[in-house]
Structures are given as structure tokens and as C-alpha cells.
Structure 1
Amino acid sequence: MSSSSFSKGNHILIVDDDPAVIEGCSRVLGRMGCHCLTLQDLEGEGEPFDIVLTDMSMPRDELLNALEHLKEQTPSATVVLFLTCPTVRAAIEAIKRGDFVPLHRPLHPEEIKAMFERLAPAEDQRPELKGGERIVGTSPALIKVLKTIKKVAPSNANVLLLGESGTGKELMARTIHLNSTRCDGPFIPVDCASLPETLLESELFGYERGAFTGALSTRPGIFEYANGGTIFLDEVGELSPSLQAKLLRVLQERQFRRVGGRQLIQVDVRVISATNQDLIQAVRDGRFRKDLYYRLNVVPIHLPPLRERKEDIKPLVRHFLRYFSQRDHRPLREVSQAAMELLERYPWPGNVRELQNVMERAVSLAEGEVILPEDLPEEVRKGRVPPIEDEIPLDLPFEEAKERWIELFERRYLRELLERTGGNISQAARMAGVNRKTIHRLLKKHGLHKGRSLTL
């Protein structure tokens, strides 16, 4: 099925002239976790919807025209028809022509539930997770991640989240915490790449009065504040060797000393860490301690980039459309078919974070009720990745071809990013949705320089 499939959180439009039918369907679907919109006719204005239930007892040609109009307004929606005798022939023709699903009268709660369960794709087996409603998507790659989270969350095992910037590592870490036995304790995220080494050490471990100039009083560190809960160390691959050694002691002994202190402080903290680096290569290069890597990597979870879960782009777009249009009080209802095709075709190097930024921009710029291609950034409209068949031989093994394609894309993306920002690393990092260290690391990896013309 090419259109929307049923999942919890769907927005469902119910169109019927019988209030009892609307009330009954809303009650059944509400218990299944859906949001029901009860508009009385197809011309009514409301939120974007995923699935439509409708009974339209009208002549054949009028019914077909109305259904086609509905699909033009919301091309991604699945339409479920309540079949009554006068409209059976027209409904059968509609089903042959498009994405329309029959549901026979009289309606029973069990039949409604069974119908929507049949609409669910086979891979849509999302586990129940506290806080899981914030994670949008039903792709097999995402569901695999959520199932792993469901298994590992109740334990105290350290988790290492691996993946590119913008794939939602902090959101996944928070979800693990919410579904753990520590859910009533604190969850404290730390960006290891954003602070200098000395400041990060005092933030993590605290300091004693007089430990350094300006230390006028004793201050506990984040590990103490996180006692009984979870600490999330983002960009853990950026830690200096001395901080790696101190973190290793916390993981092994569950104790540490504040900066300038002598007393050992005991803590009970679960550590979830994340990185977009290849830590195995960093271990080989001597940049990351092997013993620390094994302590952090008890349960590794790889978060797929958005380009590997393209099925989730459309529901993410609709999610951000709802959120930003409601936040900004804009009457936006839908993304046009042409704009959606551009969004689905773009490779999203900044992943979900970049898509979120693009949708926020589009909602701000859109003049009507529908987001159009001209509301999207130039790079999304034009695309920046050359056809793979023009650049990479397709007779290579899959993994090698994939690695070379990603390398080519990174080089082209960096070159054009720095051309647009005039070589300004800070601005480039903001536009790409990554930190400065990531830009510097990728420049070094590909032998590129910000101060001169970049060539492939």
C-alpha cells in the first residue's frame, strides 16, 4: 500500500451524516490510540489526516469525483469506504482506480478494529514504550531499534548509541531512561564536544573550594546530580585521554574524586553514550582507550540515517507540519505532492534534525494552506547528490559501493557547504546541524581545506 498505513497516533477523518456512527467509530479508534477528526463534509477545514472513513450515498459519478478530489487534497491518505447497497458498484470501481478500502455496513467495533489492523504493514510491530509517541515512524530499521530499546531499557547495562548527527540519539537515550527502573531519577545530557577539557572535567566531576582560580566554593558535578538516574554522554569520542581515564574509573569502580579533592565519592549512575565517530578506528589509531570502549559498548545500538528509513520521511513531514503550524498558528493543512516528492528524494545528510529545520522554515514561508516546492530550500529543490551510476561503478560489492558513495557525497556536501558559507566553520556547522568538531574531522578525513577552492 503506497499511502498511509494504520499506526497509533494516526489522524483519522470520519465523514458520515449519522452522529451515532461518528461517535462509535471515534470511541473504538480512540481506544486504539488514534486522533479522530469528525468533519461532516469533505470540504471542511481541519488538520492533515492519514486515513478517512466515509459513507457517501451519492450517484456513481459524484462519488468517484468526490473521492478523487479528496485524494488530490490529501494524496497520502487511505480512504475507507462504508459500503451500502446504492454505492457498491461505484465503490468497487473506486477501489480498482485508487487506494480505497471497503468496510461493510452494519458497522461493528470488532470489524472496525480488524480493518485497521489489516491496514497496518507487517513490519509495523512497534513495541509499547513510555515516551515512544515522540518517535515518529514505522520503518523496519526504526522498529528494530525500538525493539532493542525495549529489551535493554530495564537493565543497568551501559548503552552506546551509534549513528550520524541528527538521527535522534538524545531522544533514544531519554526513551531508554523513561523505560528503565531509574525512570524516577534524573536524566542529564552532556555534550562532550561543546566544552573545553578543563571545564568539562569540572562539570562532570565537580570541584573543591580552591581547586583553581575562581573556585570559591565546593560544587558537585553532574555525576553526583545524576545519582540514581542516567547520564547521557553525547559525542563521547571527543573526550581527551585524561577524561577517558577518569570516566573509566567511574564505570569500573562507581567512584571518583572531584577536581582538587581527595575523598572518593560513590555514585550509582547508568551511562548511555553516543558518537557519530568510528570508535573502533579511533581505538586502532590510539585516540580512544580500548578498555573504555568495551565498558561503554556493552549494548551497541545503531541508529539508521534518514536515507535508510525513507518510509519514515512522509510521517515525519506530516508530524512537523502539524507541530509547527499549531505552534505558529498557521492554517497549513498539507504538503503538495510535488513538494513531498522533493522531500522524499533528498538524501538528508543532517537527518531528522535537518528535516525538522526545513519544515520549520517551510511553515514560516508558506503563503497558503499547502506547502509548495518554492517553500523549500534550494538544496532540497535541486538536490546536491549526483546520480550514483555516473560516479560509482555498480559492479562493486554492495558494501564497497555504499562506502564510496557516502565518501563522495560527504566530499561534495562539504565543498558546497563551505562555498555557501565562505569557509566559515561555525556557520557551516549550524547549517548542517552538526558541531564544529565534526566539520573539522570530516575536512581532515577527506583532505579538504576551508581556506582554498575545494575540488574533487
Structure 2
Amino acid sequence: MAKATANILIVDDDDLILLSAQLLLEQHFSTVKKINNPNQITEAFNEHSFDVVLLDMNFRQGETTGKEGLKWLKKINEISPATKVILMTAYGEVDIAVEAMKTGAIDFIVKPWQNEKLIVTIKNALELFTKEKRVKQLESREKIISSNIDYQFGDMIGSSQAMKDIQKLITKVAPTDADVLILGENGTGKEVAARAIHKNSARANEVFIAVDLGTFPENLFESELFGHKKGAFTDAREERIGRFEAASGGTIFLDEIGNLPPNLQTKLLTVLQRRQITKVGSNMPVDIDVRVLCATNLNLKKAVEEGRFREDLYYRINTVELNLPPLSERVSDIEELVNHFLRKYEHKYHKERFQLDDNALEELKRHRWPGNVRELQHAVERAAILAEGTELTAQDFGFLSVSTQEINEFDSYDLENIEAWAIKKAIKKHNGNISHASKELGLSRGAMYRRMEKYGL
């Protein structure tokens, strides 16, 4: 008979009862621990998380009031509210046990117990624990997923050789559980690639959680990623699971990982190595089962050489490296991408079917596209909204034209020069409105401000 996966703790001052209970329960449950002093309860929970606790009601010779049991029951409820407590009591103390259930115990067992009844009682408690844990996890997942509910994702579009190579690599790596580092300029489709990996993996039917690491203030990083206990800090009014626990069983996508400060890199490395998280305000590690996909537009090798990014974290997240080409290196895909976006916005804005004239297509192919596919998508959306007729001409994309003076602002395709130019143009275009500029570039406000500071804008 297969053992049920469960962490059970037995607390009793009688070593004979502890031993007999442990020998019985180890036949049915994966992990069974025992302590003979209730003062060790806090230490035990600091070292392990427990699903069910068997707790004696009295711990002193001749004591029958059950007060100590009530005291430690309350303590367990404070330490781990989700843990289910089953009381162990002598026959004459049943009334006390019933009263204790009003304090938070789930059930009680009379000593000496019947083995079958004890096993059934623990299994019932474990089933309730598992159901409640699953409900909380689903509720948290729903909140996390709903925060990005309006984001539109599509398949990877393009038949150029560069895209065929990317698609071939994704086909190879997706069925494995390998961690993948996705590199590429802003707007090249790093999250689309991550979702394609997830979609073609064994975890495809599980959740995909995308996390923009650039949006979290440093003081909330651990809470957002790993969760927190109630009362862990001023605004922690209830216990909350973090992104990693919400993604357990599925895939977590960590975008902008190159922007993590060194101290947060250390914390993330520990989680990835142990595949365990510890909530803020708790000492109990929680096992997680996630596939980790990371992305950045930075040169992480250079960052490692300069001491700005941990070398051990770099190799931890980089089992396989996926380099997405900029749009300038896949010009032949522009027509396919434009047609894809036109079909999308025809439906969204209830437009008749658009046609793109040859001259407009040629101008789109000649454009530099520093914002890559994301910039092209925004350009097509704006043209679809503002077009007077169903045929799109070069004039419908007039706002994309770049003057000779602007082109001369940089004389190479150096990523940082192009990024600085694109940010400056977006800010000017939106009359200094950083929110609108960052949205067009596909950046969070936090990431936008960091780049503005970096380039002195």
C-alpha cells in the first residue's frame, strides 16, 4: 500500500505512546516526527511544516484539566493556522476535548485508540488540509493572473530562417524541464517565446505566471515572490502566497532578471537551488515544483564580468540560452507580422478587412524598428484605428518617419544607443508623459525610470 504524502507531528510526554503512534503512522504516511516536550513545538515548526498534529491534552503527572493542551493548541494555530490539530485525550476527558474543538482543533482521539479509527481520523484531517490549501492557491493564482488579464498574447509569427531556428530550438527544449534564459532586445517577443515553451511542455495544462521583476520595490520583492504570513509587516492583513507558490506545478517566467540588485540575486539563487520558498514572517520552508524561464535585454555575460550579476545565478538560470533576433534581422517577416496584427485589430475595432499597399510595405521594411515587434504592433494598431479607408498607405504610418538628423543621432546598431534613442523619441512623442511613453515601449514605469537615469534623460 502506497503511503500518503503528509507531514505528521506527534506531541506527547509519554515516550511509549510516542513510539507506538510513530510506528503505526509511518506505515501510512510519508513523514512522521515526534516530540515529548510541548516547548519544542515552535522549534519543530521552524524546521518543518506540518499538515497534521496529534496533540496530547495534558503534560504533567496527574493533570486532567486539559489547560496545557488548550494553550499549545492556540500556539499551533498562531504559528500555522492551516495545520490541522487532532487532540489525544483519556476517556474521562472527552468533554474537555469537545470544548477544545471550539478553540480550533479539528477532532479528538480517545486513548487507548483503535488503530483503524486513528488512521481514518488523520486521513480526514489531511484531506481537509489539502482541499483548503488548494483553494487558497487557486484564489491567489486567480488574483495574480487577473492582474494581466488584458494582455494579448499570440503565437510566434515569422517564417524567416532566424525564426525557424528559434522555433526548432523551442521544439527541442520545451518537452524537458530545463531552465531557459531568453535574451533579446526590448519588444522582440521574449514573453511570447516563454509561453511557447510552456505551451509545448509537459506542464502545458498547468498555470503560467509571468513576473516583471522590474516592477517590484526592493522592500516588497520577497513578499511578492515568496508570500507572507499575516502580520509579517504593517500592511500584511492576511496570509498570502507569492508568485512562486502560485506557479507550483507549472511555469514561472521572470522578466528583467538582469535588473535585480545583488542582495535579491542571492535570495533568488537560494530558492532556485533548494526549490523551496520561505514566506516573509515565517521560518517554515515550503516546497515548490516550478519550471523557471528567465529573460533580459541586458548582456548578462558582461554583467557577470563587471560583478553586477552573480556568476552562480547566471549558470543556474542558463541551462539553455535562447537568443531572439531583432526585427531588423528578420525583415522578411514584417509582411506576415503586419497581416497578423491587421486581422487582430480588424476584429478588435470592428473594421472591414484592410489591405496594405506595396509602397507602405516597403517603407515598413525600411524602418529601423528600435522597439522591434512591439513597436510594429503599436504602429499597425494606430494605423488601423485612424485609417479613413480600408487600404493602408504610407501616409497612415507617417508618424514612424525619422528625419536625417534623428538617424545621425547614432551611427551604429549598438543596443544601448538605439534604446536611448527610442526612449527619448517616446518621451517627446507623448509630451513628457512617462506613463504613456513607457506603455508604448512595453516597459513598466519603474523600468522606464531606471533607463532614463541610465541614459541621463
Q: Normalising by structure 2, what TM-score? A: 0.62
In the aligned structure 2, how far is the partner of 1:345 from the partner of 1:210? 57
Q: Deviations over 1:78-98 (max 9, x none)?
A: xxxxxxxxxxxxxxxxxxxxx
1:69-125 CA distances to partner (integer Å, 9 max, x unpaired)? xxxxxxxxxxxxxxxxxxxxxxxxxxxxxxxxxxxxxxxxxxxxxxxxxxxxxxxxx
Aligned to 2:323: 302
When the two chains are superposed, the root-mean-square deviation of aligned CA atoms in Å is: 2.5
Paired amino acid for 2:168: K
1:310-329 aligned within 5 A: 310-329=331-350
* Residues 242-284 of structure 1 deviation map (CA, whole Å, 9 limit, x = unaligned): 3212211121111121111111111111100101111122223
Please give the alpha-carbon distance, in whole angstroms, between the structure 1 residues aligned to 2:268 and 2:195. Answer: 21
Residue 348 of structure 1, aligned match among 360, 364, 369: 369
* Structure 2 CA distance for partners of 1:250 and 1:373, relative to 1, 3 Å: same
1:150-172 deviation digits (Å, cap 9, x = unpaired): 11111111000001111111111
Determine the C-alpha separation between the residues in 2 that align with 1:442 and 1:196.
16
Contact 1:166 1:433 in 2 (8 A): yes
Deviation at 1:333, TM superposition (A): 2.9
CA distances 1:364-411 after superposition (whole Å, capped 9, x unpaired): 1111110122221423376876379xx75xxxxxxxx654xx555445
Quote the offset at 1:235 in angstroms: 0.8
Are residue 431 (structure 1) and residue 431 (structure 2) matched? no
The 8 Å contact of residues 154 and 192 in structure 2, kept in 1 or not, is answered as: no
* Counterparts of 1:365 and 1:421, CA distance in 2: 17
Distance 1:159 1:362, change over 3 A: same
Judging changes above 3 Å, is the alpha-carbon distance between structure 1 residues 411 and 271 closer, same or farther for their aligned structure 2 residues?
Answer: closer
* Distance in 2 separating the partners of 1:187 and 1:410: 29
Tell me how far apart the structure 1 counterparts of residues 391 and 356 of structure 2 sit (CA, whole Å). 5
Gap regions ≥5 residues in structure 1:
1-131, 393-400, 451-456
Q: What is the CA distance between 1:416 and its match in structure 2?
A: 3.9
Q: How many residue pairs were aligned?
A: 305
**1:422 Cα deviation from its structure 2 partner:** 4.7
Q: Aligned residue for 2:456?
A: 449
Q: Which of 368, 378, 381 is equivalent to 2:399?
A: 378
1:384/1:276 CA distance change after superposition, 3 Å: farther
Residue in 2 that maps onto 1:19: none
> Conserved in 1, the CA contact under 8 Å of 2:346 and 2:384?
yes
Which of 355, 363, 366 does residue 384 from structure 2 map onto? 363
CA drift at 1:425: 3.8
Partner of 1:324, secondary structure, is helix
Compute the displacement of 1:358 (Å). 0.8
1:151 aligns with: 172
The one-letter amino acid paired with 1:449 is G
TM-score (norm 1): 0.62
Structure 1, residues 286-323: CA drift from partner, whole Å, max 9, x if none? 32211111101111101111111101001101111111
Structure 1 residues 443, 209: closer, same or farther in 2, change over 3 A?
Answer: closer
2:333 matched to 1:291? no
C-alpha change, 1:409 and 1:232, in structure 2 (3 Å) is closer
1:91 aligned residue: none
Structure 1 contact 310–344 (Cα < 8 Å) conserved: yes
Secondary structure in 2 aligned to 1:321?
helix
Answer whether contact 2:226 2:280 (CA < 8 A) is retained: yes
Calculate percent identity across the aligned residue pairs: 46
Tell whether the 8 Å contact from 1:332 to 1:363 is kept in structure 2 after alignment: no
Evaluate the alpha carbon distance shift between residue 348 and residue 255 of structure 1 in structure 2; reply closer, same or farther with a 3 A threshold.
same
Which entry has the higher C-alpha Rg, 1 or 2? Answer: 2
Q: Relative to 1, partners in 2 of residues 1:215 and 1:308: Cα closer, same or farther, differing over 3 Å?
A: same
Partner AA of 1:432 in structure 2: L
Question: Aligned-pair distance for 1:215?
Answer: 1.6
Indicate how the Cα distance of structure 1 residues 440 and 284 shifts in structure 2: closer, same or farther if over 3 A, else same.
Answer: farther
Deviations 1:207-245 (A, max 9, x none): 112211122222111111111111000111122333212
Number of the residue aligned with 1:395: none
Unaligned runs of 5+ in 2: 1-152
Instruction: Return closer, same or farther for 1:256/1:438 CA change in 2, 3 Å cut-off.
Output: closer
Is the alpha carbon distance of 1:419 and 1:222 closer, same or farther for their aligned partners in structure 2, counting shifts above 3 Å?
Answer: closer
